[in-house]
A and B are shown apart, each in its own frame.
Chain A
C-alpha cells in the first residue's frame, strides 16, 4: 500500500537545508573535480593538462587507448583482488561477529555496556599505529613467531608478512566494530519469545535459526556487510603496511598514483572505477533487500 500523499512540510525542508548544502558542498564538488580530472591528461610533474583525455580508463579497461597509454591487465587484477579480499573480509567479520552479538545481547546490562565500550575502544587510537602493531606481530621475527618459537612450535611459524592473509587479518581487525554494531542492534531487537514460539511449534534449533533468526536479523547482516565491504574495498593503510608491493589493493594503488607517480588523472580514473563498482554493488544489495522485504515502509 502506498501512504497517502502528504502536503510538503516547509519546516522540514528548512531543517534539512543546512545538511543538504553541506553534503552537496563537501561531496558533490570534490566528486565533480575527480570526475573531471579523470578525463584530463596528466601534467609532467603532477597536476593536470586541460585537454580532453579519455585514455586513463583505457589503461584499466582496455579501451579507449591513445598512442601514449597502454592497456595493463595488472589494474583489473588489482580491482578484482580488492573485490575478493573485501568480500572475504566482510565474510570473516560476519562469522566472527554474529555469534558474538548473540552472546553480548544475552549478558546482564552492566557487562553488556562494558563490552560495547570495549568494541569501540580501538577507535580511540590512531589507525596507522594500530596497523603498525600488527606488523610487529606478523613479521618473521615478530611476536607471533617468537611465541611459537618459545613453545617449541618453530616449525609451524608462518611468514605472514606481505601476504593476502596478513591484509585480511588487518582489514578484519580494523573493520570488526563496523560489523559488530549493526549486527548487535539487530540481534538485540530479536524477541527471545519468538525463538520459544518457534520451538513450541515443533521447529528444531536449526529450523528456528533459518526461519526466524536469520530473516529477522537480515537487516543487520546486510548493513554490517555493506559498511565493512566498502571501506575494505578502498582501504589503503592496511594493504600499504601489511601487503606491501606484493599485495597491492586498489586503495594503495590510487594513493601511489596521486603521491608517488604523480599521475592525478589516472588516480582519479581508478577512484571513479571503484566508485562505480561500489554503486553497482549497493544497487544490487538495495534491490535484493527491497525484494526480500517489500512491505518495509517508512
Chain B
C-alpha cells in the first residue's frame, strides 16, 4: 500500500495521462516495417495545453489515435491516472477527439452533431438542448443549429467539430491538426481563440500540429517529436531558447547552427572554436575542454548595430539581405567562411548600417544569446 501512495507523489498527482514506452510498428505494403512510435514517454498534465509538434510522418497522429483508442500499442502502456487503458475501447474512454477532417455526421444537423455524445450518453432532453446551445454559443455558432455540415464553411465546420467534442466535457480533448484546413488569417485567429477557449473551459488539450509557430503561440508545453521519438518536452520559451539538440533547434524558429569544440573552460562559461576556426564565447559550465558542441545562435541575438556596446564581435561580409515584412534577414559570410543570419528589425526612417551585399560588417552578440548543445563526437 505504502508504495502505491508513494507512487502517487506530487509529480503524478497533477498528471492526467501517463504514456510509458509506447511502441507502434506498421508493416508497409512495400514489405518493410515502419516504427511510427519508437518508445514514447510522455505525461499529460491536468488542464494544460500540450502540443505535439513534429514533421510529417513522425508519429503524431499514431500517438493521438493510441490515446483515443483507435490504435493498439505493440508495447508500452497508457495510464489514465492509475488505470491502464489497454483493452478499453474508444467509446469507453473519457476523451473526445477533433478529427483533422472534422468527421461531422453529414446526415445530422449542426445541433444533432453537437448533441450526439449527449444523446448516446442518455442526457435528459432539456439538459441536452441547453448544453448544445451553450457549446454552440461558446464557439460562436449560435443560430446555425439547423444547418447541415455541408451548408457550412470550413471554419464553421471546424467549430462544430470543436463544440461536438467540448459539449461532453471530456477529461482530455485530442485535436489532430485542427487548424490545418483553414487559411492563414483564420488559422491565426483560431490559434488565439483555441487557447482562450481552453482557458475558459478548463479542459486538458492535446493538440497535434506540424506548424512550429502555431505550437509556440498556443501551448503551455510543447512535445517535439521526430521519427517516432520525443526529442524534448517543455514550455515554448524553454524549447525556443534552450533546444535539447540540433533537430529541435532547427525545427523551431530560425537558427544559426555551427559545430565546434570547447577550447577553454572558465567557470560558468566556455570558449569555443568552430570547425572553420571561428572563436566564440558562451555560457556552458557543463561542458569540459575538448567536448564537441553544437552551437546555436538565433538571428535576433546577432546585432549589426555598430554602436551595440562592448560584447564580443565577429567580422564578416554581407551576402544577401532578405526582406520579410517587419524584419530583414541579413546573410553574412564570416571571415572564417561560416554562414550566419542576423535579424534586423526594419524601422522606417531609422539610420541603417550599410547593408548592401559585399559590405563589411561587424556582428556583435552577447554570450548569453548563444546556446550550446551536446555535439556528436568527431
Contact surface of A with B, Cβ cutoff 8 Å: 191, 193-194, 196-205, 207, 211-212, 215-216, 293, 295
Residues of B80-126 contacting chain A, CB below 8 A? 89-92, 95-97, 99, 101, 103-107, 116-117, 120-121
**Min distance, Cβ A267 to any Cβ of chain B, angstroms:** 45
- B103 x A199 contact (CB < 8 A): no
Which one of B96, B101, B104, B106 lies within 8 Å of A200 (CB-CB)? B96
Say yes or no: is B219 at the interface (Cβ < 8 Å to chain A). no
Closest to A200 in B: B97
Q: Are A198 and B107 in contact (CB under 8 A)?
A: no
Classify the interface of chain A: helix, strand, loop or mixed. Answer: helix
The answer, among B69, B89, B97, B121, for a CB contact under 8 Å with A197, is B97
A–B pairs, 18, beta carbons within 8 Å: A191-B103, A194-B106, A196-B70, A196-B97, A196-B103, A197-B104, A198-B116, A199-B70, A200-B68, A200-B90, A200-B95, A200-B97, A201-B96, A202-B92, A202-B168, A211-B116, A216-B106, A216-B107
- Quick check: B103 and A197 within 8 Å, CB to CB? yes
Compute how far the CA of A194 lies from the CA of B106 in the bound complex, rounded to whole angstroms. Answer: 9
A198, A201, A204, A216: residue with the most chain B Cβ atoms closer than 10 Å: A201
Are A197 and B99 in contact (CB-based, < 8 A)? yes
Quick one: closest B residue to A189, CB to CB? B106
B172 CB, min distance to chain A CBs, angstroms: 12
The answer on a CB contact under 8 Å between A201 and B116 is yes
Question: With an 8 A cutoff between CB atoms, is B328 at the interface?
Answer: no
Q: Cα distance A198–B89 when bound, in Å?
A: 12
Which parts of B131-178 form the interface with A (CB within 8 Å)? 148, 164-165, 168
Q: Which residues of A contact B92 (CB under 8 A)?
A: 202
Chain A min CB distance to B229 (Å)? 26
Question: A196-B70, A215-B107, A216-B107 given as contacts; is B99 within 8 A of A203 (CB)?
Answer: no
The CA of A205 and the CA of B148, in the complex, are separated in Å by 24
CA distance in complex: A295, B103 (Å)? 20
B68 & A203 in contact (Cβ 8 Å cutoff): no
- Residue on B with the closest CB to A204? B91
Report the Cα distance A196→B89, complex, angstroms.
11
Are B148 and A202 in contact (CB-based, < 8 A)?
no
**Contact call B120/A194, Cβ cutoff below 8 A:** no
Give complex CA distance A215, B148 in Å.
Answer: 15
A191, A197, A207, A295 — which one has the most chain B CB atoms within 10 A of its CB?
A: A197
Tell me the complex Cα distance, A215–B113, Å: 14
Contact B120 A201 (CB under 8 A): yes
B105 touches A212 (CB 8 A): yes
